[in-house]
Amino acid sequence: MIEPGWWRDGDAVMFDESARIRRDTIDVALVVPFSGSAGIYGPSCEACAELAIADINAGPGLLGRQVRLIPVDGSRAPTVVAAEIAALIDLGAVDAVTGWHISPVRKAIAEITAGRVPYVYGPLYEGGERTPGLFLTGETPSRQLLPAMNWMKSEYGIDRWVVIGNDYVWPRETGSTARVHARASGQPLLAEMYFPLGTDDFGAAIRQIEQTEATGVLLLLVGGDGVAFNRQFAAAGLGRAVPRLSPHVEENMLLASGPESNEGLFAAAGYFEALNTTASMDFARHYYGHFGAAAPALNSIGESCYEALTLFVTLVSRAGSLGIESMTMAATDLRYSSPRGEVRMHGNQMSQDIYIAEALGLDFEVRERISAA
């Protein structure tokens, strides 16, 4: 996926400065994880982003120019990723930034892009981001996790929750939101446990969950960490007895966990491959028609990269410019159709329908819409 004028030096993607003179494209840095706990999402993210670019370039392009993706490894330390983005912007080598990456990386990049180039962030996140020029398409806890908790209580009576997540800003702030919500509902959280990214032994946490006599687990673990937990949780015989609810589990994690580990697992998201809407089914046909049956799993995290690029193109087209002020004005009252159905902008944040789904073997079955755009 490295374009002409670029080469890889170790983990970094390097730019030939002389290529800047010849650049007649709109170049977008695509920051996605190539390794680590979140590396499981990488192929789906890259495929969906590539599909978005193919769709853009099949027409007139953007502002009359073709669009290119410049890959940046988002699985490295936030300061390292941000330094690469800063170098690209300083060279005039990229016009915008997008992708899927965790919140500490977003925060570091946002300090670099603020007021300089537009930045469209695709993932679900903890909410509250106000950096100038940063637009967000992902779900937030108030419209995703909290309605899902309410649904689990109404459907299954689950109101004694334990939070288990990774130790960084998104799980901790999401856990804090869940804590306030649970307390206001009259059933405070029984425990919160946070682990470094890359943790693979959750034995002590699982024993603590058993001791609390929790009726549900809020699972805020990323990628490979979530897979390890799911396997160990099921092996302890808790899968059916104590349902898990996650805003982050997707089809790659179901495949990696195995069907025997997915019983009692629920997810909330704005997109599922199994979503039975015209927009979603059309997108799935388009995706597999483009890449074939062996394509990376289609899921909410990969689709978020398509979603972010769609918003980027929509904003730039409406603004007639890559200027941040013009794009910000273009976001006012913006509505458009996407694989998630009709979405709309509120300030710099996209609003969308949210669904809850149950894992059945290696697939999801969407149970209900829990928030409307």
pLDDT > 90 fraction of the chain, expressed in percent and rounded: 93
pLDDT band per the 50, 70, 90 thresholds, residue 13: low
pLDDT band per the 50, 70, 90 thresholds, residue 21: very low
pLDDT band per the 50, 70, 90 thresholds, residue 1: very low
Please check the confidence at residue 177 and state whether its pLDDT lies above 70: yes
User: What SS3 class is residue 223?
Assistant: helix
Give mean pLDDT, residues 191-218. 97
Please check the confidence at residue 16 and state whether its pLDDT lies above 90: no
Closest CA relative to residue 169, chosen from 217, 223, 105:
105
User: What SS3 class is residue 266?
Assistant: strand
Please check the confidence at residue 355 and state whether its pLDDT lies above 60: yes
Please check the confidence at residue 4 and state whether its pLDDT lies above 50: no
Token pair in block for residue 242: 């104590």
Select the more confidently predicted residue: 23 or 71: 71
Measured distance CA(341)–CA(307) in Å, rounded:
11
pLDDT digits (tens, 9 = 90+) for 137-173: 999 999 999 999 999 999 999 999 999 999 999 999 9
Considering only CA atoms, give the Rg of the chain: 20
Element (H, E) at 255: helix 251-257
pLDDT of residue 14: 56
Q: Is residue 231 a contact partner of residue 47, using CB atoms and an 8 Å limit?
A: no
pLDDT of residue 373: 86
Helices 145-156/169-184 angle, 10° precision: 50
pLDDT band per the 50, 70, 90 thresholds, residue 11: low
pLDDT of residue 189: 97
> Any residues with CB less than 8 A from the CB of 93 and at least 6 apart, and which?
15, 19, 20, 23, 27, 70
pTM across the whole model: 0.92
Give mean pLDDT, residues 199-207. 97
State the sign of the Cα–Cα–Cα–Cα dihedral 244, 249, 252, 256. negative
pLDDT digits (tens, 9 = 90+) for 73-96: 999 999 999 999 999 999 999 999
The DSSP secondary structure of 49-83, one letter per residue, reads: HHHHHHHHHHTT-BTTB-EEEEEEETTS-HHHHHH
Please check the confidence at residue 15 and state whether its pLDDT lies above 60: no
Measured distance CA(285)–CA(305) in Å, rounded:
17
Give mean pLDDT, residues 183-189. 95
Give mean pLDDT, residues 182-197. 96
